[in-house]
Structure 1
Amino acid sequence: MTPDDRIYAYSAVLMGSPVLLKLFEHDETLASGVFRLIKQQENIFTVNRPHSDIMAINHAAGRDPVTVSAPVFELIRRAKTISCLPDSSFNLTIGPLVKCWKIGFSGHSIPAAHDLQTLLSLTDPEDVILDEQTRSVFLQKTGMEIDLGAIAKGYIADVVRDYLREQQVDNALINLGGNVQTLGDGTEGAWAIGLKKPFSDPDALIGVINVIGKSVVTSGVYERYFELDGHCYHHILDPKTGYPLDNELLSVTIISEDSIDGDIWTTLLYGMGVEKSLASLTKIPHIEAIFVTRDGQIILPSQRQFTFTPLDDSYRIIAY
């Protein structure tokens, strides 16, 4: 590596995860600006603290509409649109179910079926009323809660990317923990993003994804889960049943221009399963995916925006 190839790494813990920034020039001021921007965004969208723009909406559920900033309104509107798609496994009103399970937040028990059934009545995205003129959000039923956890990281990653571009940065990487957004290329012509081996050591990889100026978002059942009586209960919930989604997939990775698309499509495709996902991907050429299945397959429908290098011989590569 030549001096010109040196990468400077900066890290912080934000949004409950380690956040990593990589730059080609040493610039602590810029790094501080990035972390400050992420913190500001976290303060707006979090549901893990009593006060935020989203929690203001949740606290007023069933009573009053809440006027929000234009970016918050637009993100909620987009989340509602995705949530209302036919058979969508993305649901911005899934908050009550997430809090009931507490997976990833010390939850290690299965909620009672009647409790889940009661909460399902509070998770209809059509009950989110948006008023464009007043830029207000109203949750029609008391007890409803918006949770943008399935989309906020991607949105914030894109905000950081745009901020870096404004600062005249041509090459950088930001990792928000599952959401990686890149500008330009890495030291060898592309950024190398590791694809984790499910249910293994944190550093164990099944392959490396190489991208230039793209986002890589992975969602897997091994990220937050607990085991009980030989069954794994993970954090990706089915908004129709209230229970964790159960199909042949261990993880879905999305390669795209915008990280917010990665957030949206990892959830949608995970809910579809492999066969329906492959059919859907033919209609959205700007989105590419990598599927890891329970029976040890790595499925690569296409590799237009990335290249994949396998590292684990125990997995079978299925390329189209």
Structure 2
Amino acid sequence: MSDERCLYRYSTVLMGSPILLKLPRHDEALASRVFQLIKRYEDLLTVNRASSQVMDINRAAGRHPVAVSRPVYQLIKCAKAASLAQDSAFNLAIGPLVKLWRIGFQGSRVPSGAEIAARLALTRPQDVALDDAAASVFLTQPGMEIDLGAIAKGYIADRVRDYLRQQGTDEALINLGGNVHTLGRWSVGLKKPFAADDALVGVMAVDGQSVVTSGVYERYFEQDGRRWHHILDPRSGYPLDNALQSVTVISADSLDGDIWTTLLYGLGVEKGCAILRQREDIEAIFVTKNRDVILSSQRRFRFSLLDADYRLTDCTA
């Protein structure tokens, strides 16, 4: 991110990621309340600790439904709908595969084909049973685990945006480890894959938009001369393998950004562009292995290319 205004920066670490809040005025009390809000939602949604509502659901897999709070239930319902979309690379039930690969954690490795096949049998989103009246979730097969890691940050970023508005704040930027949400006008950098943290491909000018980027450079490991990244294809059980290095989604809500970065990653550039031409609420930037930067459109942002090694084009090319 980059901006020339005089800003106050507040930071912490939550959800296993650096959290940054930018404000045009000094307000430590507001920053503290924002971080407390993020922590409350993290405690509800995490699968990286023994205690959370999501972990309660996972521990009861194959045995009984678990009633959860309405916010958690609605998020799970949204995640299931995205998982059941045609050709979806999004899957809320992907937890067993994530734990098998352990990409980004100690002990990551390439599993055997037999191990992957066994875990794939536990990742059917159809086997996540929802009861609207009771706000309960039942994983019908023992060993199933839901993982909301691909959607939780977007949901929480939207709640932070709503809270800041309620507090009368009309200018702020919150970065939840890659999920950026803005109030007012800001410049947001597009990171260069496999480069230094401050190396940018370009910069987006946005006004009150969410910017979510998912890239193969975020978490990966190398084995036998090959790089294995964390964006798993729920259909094969292996990391997605296509022409892309990153997908950035610009939208009003960060929850949509989380869902659509995954969906578009799975679709690839050609199919992704075809889908985006039919939607006015979602825009995207694709960065390919061939160093093409492909824009779906620029209704919600303006993009400036900074790195001469990349070629700027659009979905009509």
TM-superposed CA distance for 1:166, in Å, is: 0.5
Greater Cα shift, 222-231 or 173-182: 222-231
Residue 267 (1) aligns with residue 262 (2)? yes
TM-superposed CA distance for 1:6, in Å, is: 2.4
Instruction: Provide, for residues 50-69 of structure 1, a one-character-per-residue CA deviation record: whole Å limited to 9, x for no partner.
Output: 01010000000000100011
Q: 1:286 aligns with which of 281, 289, 292?
A: 281
In the other structure, the counterpart of 2:22 is 22
In the other structure, the counterpart of 2:308 is 313
TM-superposed CA distance for 1:311, in Å, is: 0.9
CA RMSD of aligned residues (A): 1.0
Query: In percent, how many aligned pairs have the same letter?
Result: 63
Could you tell me whether the CA contact under 8 Å between 2:190 and 2:203 is conserved in 1?
yes
Letter in structure 1 aligned against 2:205:
N
For 1:193-272, list aligned pairs within 5 A: 193-272=188-267
For 1:32-181, list aligned pairs within 5 A: 32-181=32-181
Distance 1:10 1:311, change over 3 A: same
Gaps of 5+ in 1: 186-190
TM-superposed CA distance for 1:23, in Å, is: 0.7
In the other structure, the counterpart of 1:276 is 271
TM-superposed CA distance for 1:16, in Å, is: 0.5
Aligned to 2:266, what secondary structure does the other structure show? helix
Aligned to 2:197, what secondary structure does the other structure show? coil
Letter in structure 2 aligned against 1:317:
L
Gaps of 5+ in 2: none
TM-superposed CA distance for 1:108, in Å, is: 3.4
Aligned to 2:299, what secondary structure does the other structure show? coil
Count of residue correspondences:
312
Whole-angstrom CA distance in 2 between matches of 1:108 and 1:199: 19
Instruction: Provide, for residues 113-144 of structure 1, a one-character-per-residue CA deviation record: whole Å limited to 9, x for no partner.
Output: 10110000000000000011111100000100
TM-score (norm 1): 0.96
TM-superposed CA distance for 1:178, in Å, is: 1.0
